Structure 1
Amino acid sequence: MRWATYFAVLSSVLSVGLALGVSMPLVSLRLESWGYGSFAIGVMAAMPAIGVLVGASLSSRLAAYFGTATLMRLCLLAGALSIGLLALLPSYPVWLALRLLIGVILTIVFILGESWINQLVVEQWRGRLVALYGSSYALSQLAGPLLLGVLGSEDDLGFWIGAGLLVVAPLVLIGRSGAPSAEACGVGLRDLVGFCRRLPVIAWAIALFAAFEAMILTLLPVYCLQQGFTTELALFMVSTVVVGDAVLQLPIGALADYMSRRTLFTGCAMTLLVSSLAIPVLMHTPAIWPLWVLFGASAGGLFTLSLILIGERYRDDALVRANAHVAQLWGIGCLIGPLAAGAGSQWVSGHALPLLMAAGAFGLVLLAMRPNAFEPATA
């Protein structure tokens, strides 16, 4: 196994996590300070999701044309430019367009990075090494809000730090090999429907985790502010959720190499359901802090286990296409989650965010408990 390449790819993807972790909450906090409501902030949070769908459809074709490593480097540089423009052009309509572009660019990075990692790892280490990827990515996102809390949200330094990280990231990919090959073909919504029919429980989990991540980085700070907490404490709560996501991914991945992955998956879904329902009840008690950890860990475990299960089944172009479907589902979850939670928070209930996650987790539990839920259905 190419260990140096594994850690190089991991480092490049982690730079994206840190860049997003420091810039996405800053966008939401800046909009809130400008007087925009939860729905407008939710629309902004959902824009990258549309870009995800576009990026996913183009990833395989572009990777075949440029090569996986070259395309990743180009997209990282384009992402740096886009985040820098957020600082230079502080306008809601312009930011909508830039967030759309960021969605397209960074989706391709994630598709190729996850495919590259799953292609490299050996089967007996798959659970632990994929979990290390998930855990490290979550930690990079944790560092983003923490760094933003130190820097403050009054100026644009967070945007410039995010852009700088994406300028440096391509350097670690120079000379790396072992990337999966790709064929010059698009990945359409019809292909996505087929993937969802074959593995509906994995498809649901990916979309649910995408909604979770988009809402945590964009709407959870606003939700905490609306519950009466300060900006600093709201950002610390976001970071606590990400800590939960990060800390328990490695033990979950290790267990996935030795015990039933279905049991782990179902346990994570049930924990997410219970913790989501408990958030409104325990919001203003000391118990909210361990609850945030469980909330993040259960959601992150679902995504890590989904990637492990996909890596078992696919190689090379099929793996790239499967991860493109992951990105498409990610886009759908990122689009629906913030819009539904933003609208619900403004017009239905102030606790719409955790209640929406509870509803999604309940549906996932029902899917996971079906016979043969984790076996690909025949076409």
Structure 2
Amino acid sequence: MRWGTYFAVLAAVLSVGLALGVSMPLVSLRLESWGYGGFAIGVMAAMPAIGVLFGASLASRLAAYFGTPGLMRLCLWGGALSIGLLALLPSYPVWLVLRLLIGMVLTIVFILGESWINQLVVEAWRGRLVALYGSSYALSQLAGPLVLGFLGSEDDFGFWAGAGLLLLAPLLLIGRSGAPTTEACSVTLGDLVWFCRNLPVIAWAIALFAAFEAMILTLLPVYCLQQGFGTEMALFMVSTVVIGDALLQLPIGALADRMSRRTLFSGCALVLLISSLMIPLLLHTSLIWPLWVLFGASAGGLFTLSLILIGERYRDDALVRANAHVAQLWGIGCLIGPLVAGAGSQWISGHALPLLMAAGAFGLVLLARRPNAFEVKMVA
């Protein structure tokens, strides 16, 4: 196995997480200081998710033309340029376009990076090494706001720090080998439907985790405030969920190399269902803290195991296209999840967020119990 290449690709992808974690909160803070309301800020926040769908459709075709390492370098530099222009062109309409471009080009980096890592790793270590990728990326995103707090939000240092990271990251990929080869074809929504019909349990899990991550970052603080907690405690609860997601992926990955991955997947779905249902009951007790950890770990485990199960099936172009479908499902989950949970919280129940996650986990438990739920090996 090419360990140097693995860690180079891992570092390149982690630079994206840190760059986004540093620069993207600064966008919202800057818009708020300009007097924009919640809806305008929400529209801005949704633009990268739309860019995800565009990037996913183009990844395979562009990788066939430029090669996987070459396209990753170009997209990292494109992301650096886009983030730098956020500092140079402080305009709401321009920022909408730049956020769309950032979502598009960095989605391609994720698709190719995840494919490259899954192609490189040996089967005996797949669980641990894919989990290391997922855990490290979550921690890099968590570290971003901390770095921004150190740099300060009054100036543009956050933008320049993010751009600088993405300028340097491509240098790590020079001379690296073992990347998947691709064919020049687009990945359409029709292809996504085919993927979902062939592997519905994995497709459901990816969309559910995308919705989970979007809701945790945007709606969980509001949920905690509505339940009577102060701002500091609400943010601490969010951090506990994220830390549970990040730190427990490595043990889950290690278990994935030692036991049935299908059984472990079903177990994570069941833990997510139970923990989601228990949140309203234990919210104002000390037991909520270990419950937040299990809540985050089980949701993150579903995504990590989905990547592992995809990686054990596919190679080269099929692997890149499968990860493009992961990105498409991610974009859809990030768009739909917060909208449904927000509407439910306003018009149905104050506990709509955990109940929505419970409903999603229940559907996943049922799908995982189907005969041969994980056995289809072809995508369009």
Please give the TM-score of this superposition, normalised by the length of structure 2.
Answer: 0.90
1:62-109 Cα offsets, whole Å, 9 max, x none, are 001111111111111111222233344455444333322221111100
Mapping of residues 114-153 of structure 1, within 5 Å: 114-151=114-151, 153=153
CA positional deviation for 1:134: 1.0
- The 10-residue stretch of structure 1 (70-79 or 236-245) with the greater mean CA deviation from structure 2: 236-245
**Per chain length, whose mean CA-contact separation is higher, i.e. which structure has more relative contact order (CA < 8 Å, sep 6+)?**
1
- Give the aligned partner of residue 101 of structure 1: 101
Structure 1 unmatched runs, 5+ = none
SS in 2 for 1:52: helix
| Residue 271 (structure 2) pairs with residue 271 (structure 1) | yes
1:36 is aligned to 37
Say whether residues 1:330 and 2:330 are aligned partners. Answer: yes
Q: Which moved more, 1:177-186 or 1:40-49?
A: 40-49
Output the aligned Cα RMSD. Answer: 2.5
Provide, for residues 142-165 of structure 1, a one-character-per-residue CA deviation record: whole Å limited to 9, x for no partner.
212333455555554433332222
Structure 2 residue 22 is matched with structure 1 residue 22: yes
How does 1:1-379 map onto structure 2 within 5 Å? 1-28=1-28, 34=35, 36-37=37-38, 40-151=40-151, 153=153, 155-224=155-224, 233-376=233-376
In structure 2, what residue type is equivalent to 1:185?
C
| Structure 1 residues 214-236: Cα deviation after superposition (integer angstroms, max 9, x where no partner) | 22334434544555656555444
Q: Distance in 1 between matches of 2:96 and 2:227?
A: 27
C-alpha displacement of 1:316: 0.7
**8 Å Cα contact 1:80/1:166 also seen in 2:** yes
TM-score (norm 1): 0.90
CA 90–378 in structure 1, closer or farther in 2 if over 3 Å, else same = closer
Q: Higher mean Cα deviation, 7-16 or 216-225?
A: 216-225
Distance 1:336 1:132 in 2: 28
Hey, what's the Cα distance between the residues in 2 that align with 1:305 and 1:144?
25
The answer on whether the counterparts of 2:273 and 2:362 sit within 8 Å (CA) in structure 1 is yes
Q: Identify the range of structure 1 (196-205 vs 211-220) with the bigger mean alpha-carbon deviation.
A: 211-220
Where in structure 2 are there 5+ consecutive unaligned residues?
none
* Distance (whole Å) between structure 1 residues aligned to residue 148 and residue 375 of structure 2: 43
Greater mean alpha carbon deviation, residues 141-150 or residues 363-372: 141-150
Look up the equivalent residue of 2:331 and give its one-letter code.
Answer: G
Give the whole-Å Cα distance in 2 for the aligned partners of 1:292 and 1:26.
27
**1:348, 1:99 → 2: CA distance?**
32
* Per-residue Cα deviation, 1:249-306 (whole angstroms, up to 9, x for no partner): 1111111111111111111112222222333444444433322221211111001100
Is the CA contact 1:25–1:218 (under 8 Å) kept in the aligned structure 2?
no
CA distance in structure 1 between the partners assigned to 2:229 and 2:87 by the alignment: 27
Per the alignment, do residues 223 and 262 of structure 1 end up closer, same or farther by CA in structure 2, a change over 3 Å counting?
A: same
